[in-house]
Amino acid sequence: MEKSYVIGLDYGSDSVRAILVDAANGNEIASSVFYYPRWKKGEFCDASASQFRQHPLDYIEGLEATVKDCLKKADGVLTAQQVKAISVDTTGSTPVAVDEHGVPLALLDEFADNPNAMFVLWKDHTAVQEAQQINDHASSFDLNYLKYVGGVYSSEWFWAKLLHVLRVDESVRKSLYTWVEHCDYIPFLLTGGTQATAIKRSVCAAGHKSLWAAEFDGLPPNSFFSSLDPLLDGITARLFTETYTSDQAAGTLSEEWAARLGLSTDVVVGVGAFDCHMGAVGGEIEPYYVSKVIGTSTCDVLVAPKTEVADTLVKGICGQVDGSVIPGMIGMEAGQSAFGDAYAWFKSVLLWPVKNLLADSGILGEEDLSKVVDFIDDQVIPQLGRQAEALPVTPTSELALDWFNGRRTPDADQTLKAAISGLHLGTDAPRIFRAIVEATCFGAKSIVDRFINEGIPVKGIIGLGGVAKKSPYIMQTMADVINMPIRVHKSEQTCALGAAMFAATVAGIYTKVEDAMEAMGQGFDCTYSPRPEMVTIYADRYEQYKKVGSFVETKDARNREQRLVSQITENE
């Protein structure tokens, strides 16, 4: 019997990865990574303003480069005709303005350098004001249109970002036909779509970020949006009503893309989804286990049978949607806006003198300087982890909040800031690092607690992603803080593997994605079990974390109120 192969494409924050796998067992035949060149240079971004945009060419060039590289590496092992399907996952909510033909505006000459015409990355927080207005506006309606997104709309999501772009950029506003998530755009591109109205929208993105719900017969009505801001009047007519689960096909590979990639037009292209949702599938998620994809941020996914969830609605999470992870089950999403990003921030602070003072000193030549910077960049976090792990944890140890990029869940508030308390003259880099690690783990516990307190049991944690694989200290601390075992998945590419599992299902190799999970799953590397002596210590530390968080949250709210009063007074 001829073997069949599938491709999983995983679009992350910094790069896109493709894996070519054997559909029979999930074995990886080849993989390839493409780092976005424009993003790497920091183009179109302004961290001080929380603006993070990505050019569609980074995505398109990466798509072609990685798939072709995989096929080149697999030459002699398989033929192009044996590749049966491609499925895609992406970050989200990462939407873009497109014209009537579904072309991102940034691909048009007049918008080539306009950040508002590009993909608005998930961690872009320029729409904080718009998100707050959506929350305030929704409270005036009898029907709660936020009920399936945890009751709180976030600046990281679809509508807030759309409204912000419409308000700040007249040229984009006049040329925008509709607004499209990254995970919906790539399948449309691969299948040769020419009309934006034909884009198949994933239930994953639509339900968790766009306020789509079967109960509403689709999106909230036009009146909801037009009364929020007249700029949104009529936009729902140019969006969508139907949505699709990722076990369904978006179409087949177009002649253009078949030629560009060296594949057949018979290759089936699956409906896309968000990275963490397909990652949960790649990580062999089970009902009531929190699948925690840990990278720059975290995305926490839990699935449960519809009959058991019934009418339970979990407040303050990123939504619960029928079929968003596994068709036929309710998928629930939560997460932290910064996890690895918190460590990256601290590393950047520590590297400042190396990258600046040493560079200006002339002591080292360019080549030697580059080697020194690369060495420190590579070693600083592992070494900090080893030093931090050896430190005793006491009630008076430094304590931090993990809101370096605001708070995603529970209860989204992107205006919140991180803090570090208990600093003294004996505080050094390992102690600060330990406080940040503990903070990210406390943030993880707050999510688990919210599920449990809202009536959704949690049996354990599945750790996925780079941090889970590479940092035993962080994972052990998390197990101690949450007081639950954490199983770490073997695959380093669970998101891409999950996409490959969906591709195999879309191709008809498996009847349902659960069958693909069973056949293609790679199993688990290890389990971190809570240490009883540390569980007690961290239980007390967690209460301190909540008190500091409550103080900072209250203070930030008062500051916002004072600023608002000042603005009103100035306007008068």
Is 314 within a domain?
Answer: no
Query: In terms of domains, do 134 and 165 share one?
Result: yes
Are 129 and 191 in the same domain?
Answer: yes
Q: Does residue 478 form part of some domain?
A: yes
Same domain for 506 and 411? Answer: no
29/88 same-domain check: yes
433 and 521 both lie in a single domain: no
In a domain, 331, yes or no: no
Look at residue 572 in the predicted model and tell me its pLDDT.
Answer: 52
Q: In 176-188, which positions are buried (b, 16+ CB within 10 angstroms) versus exposed (e)?
A: bbbbbbbbbbbbb
Q: Summarize the confidence of residues 173-178 as an average pLDDT.
A: 98
**What pLDDT score does 186 carry?**
98
Q: Is the pLDDT of residue 557 over 90?
A: no
Res 368: pLDDT: 86
* Residue 332 Cα distances to 280, 388, 445, 507, angstroms: 11, 34, 16, 26
Structure confidence at residue 566 (pLDDT): 56
Same domain, 429 and 505: no
Report residue 561's pLDDT band, with 50, 70 and 90 as the boundaries: low
Secondary structure string (H, E, C) spanning 195-228: CHHHCCCEHHHHHHHCCCEHHHCECCCHHHHHHH
Binned at pLDDT 50, 70 and 90, residue 126 comes out as very high
Percent pLDDT > 90 in the chain is 88
- Contact between 66 and 33 under an 8 Å Cβ cutoff? The reply is yes
| Per-residue model confidence (pLDDT) at position 414 | 85
Within a domain: residue 305? Answer: no
- The number of folded domains in the chain is 2
Q: Give pTM, 2 decimals.
A: 0.90
Same domain, 56 and 177: yes
For the cut 60, the answer to whether the pLDDT of residue 569 exceeds it is no
| 328 part of a folded domain | no
| Residue 362 lies in domain | 340-490+531-560
Mean pLDDT of 533-561: 89
What is the CA 472 to chain-centroid distance, rounded? 22
Q: Are residues 419 and 400 part of one domain? A: yes
Same-domain check for residues 106 and 183: yes
The model's confidence at residue 379, banded by pLDDT at 50, 70 and 90, is very high
- State whether 150 and 29 are in the same domain: yes
- pLDDT tens, residue by residue, 508-523: 999 999 999 999 999 9
Within a domain: 572: no
d(CA 149, CA 141): 16
Place of tokens 């008076």: 396
Is the per-residue pLDDT at 386 higher than 70? yes
Q: Is the pLDDT of residue 565 over 90?
A: no
Q: Across residues 314-328, what is the average pLDDT?
A: 95
DSSP string, 391-425: SPP-TTS-EEE--BTBB-SSS-BTT---EEE---T
Q: Which residue would you say has higher pLDDT here, 296 or 100?
A: 100
Residue 556, pLDDT above cutoff 80: no
Confidence grade of residue 370 (pLDDT, cut at 50, 70, 90): confident
Q: Region 544-571: what's the mean pLDDT?
A: 73
Q: Residue 442 domain-assigned?
A: yes
pLDDT digits (tens, 9 = 90+) for 187-201: 999 999 999 999 999
pLDDT value of residue 359: 78
Q: Is 33 helix (H, G, I), strand (E, B) or coil?
A: strand
Given CA atoms 105, 109, 110, 115 in this order, what sign does their dihedral have? positive
Measured distance CA(50)–CA(124) in Å, rounded:
6
End-to-end CA distance of the chain: 79
* Six-digit token string for 6: 């599938």
CATH number at residue 444: 3.30.420.40
Helix, strand or coil, per DSSP, at residue 159: helix
pLDDT at 272 over 80: yes
pLDDT tens track for 411-452: 989 889 999 999 999 999 999 999 999 999 999 999 999 999
Q: Are residues 553 and 521 in the same domain?
A: no
Using the Cα atoms of residue 403, residue 408, residue 410 and residue 416 in order, give the sign of their dihedral: positive
In DSSP terms, which residues pair with 86 in a beta bridge?
Answer: 7, 269
- Whether 14 and 75 map to the same domain: the answer is yes
Residues 143-168 have a mean pLDDT of 96
What pLDDT shows up at residue 558?
66
280-298 pLDDT, tens per residue? 999 999 999 999 999 888 9
Q: Is residue 390 part of a domain?
A: yes
What is the average pLDDT across 99-119? 98
Residue entry with tokens 């209460």: 543
Q: Which helix (H) or strand (E) holds 555?
A: helix 532-571
What pLDDT, on a 0 to 100 scale, did the predictor assign at position 1?
Answer: 63
Over range 450-472, report the average pLDDT: 94
Separation of alpha carbons 35 and 326, rounded Å: 30
* Distance separating alpha carbons of residues 521 and 543, to the nearest angstrom: 38
Q: Rounded mean pLDDT of the chain?
A: 94
Q: Is the pLDDT of residue 559 over 90?
A: no
What does the pLDDT look like over 177-229, one tens digit per residue? 999 999 999 999 999 999 999 999 999 999 999 999 999 999 999 999 999 99
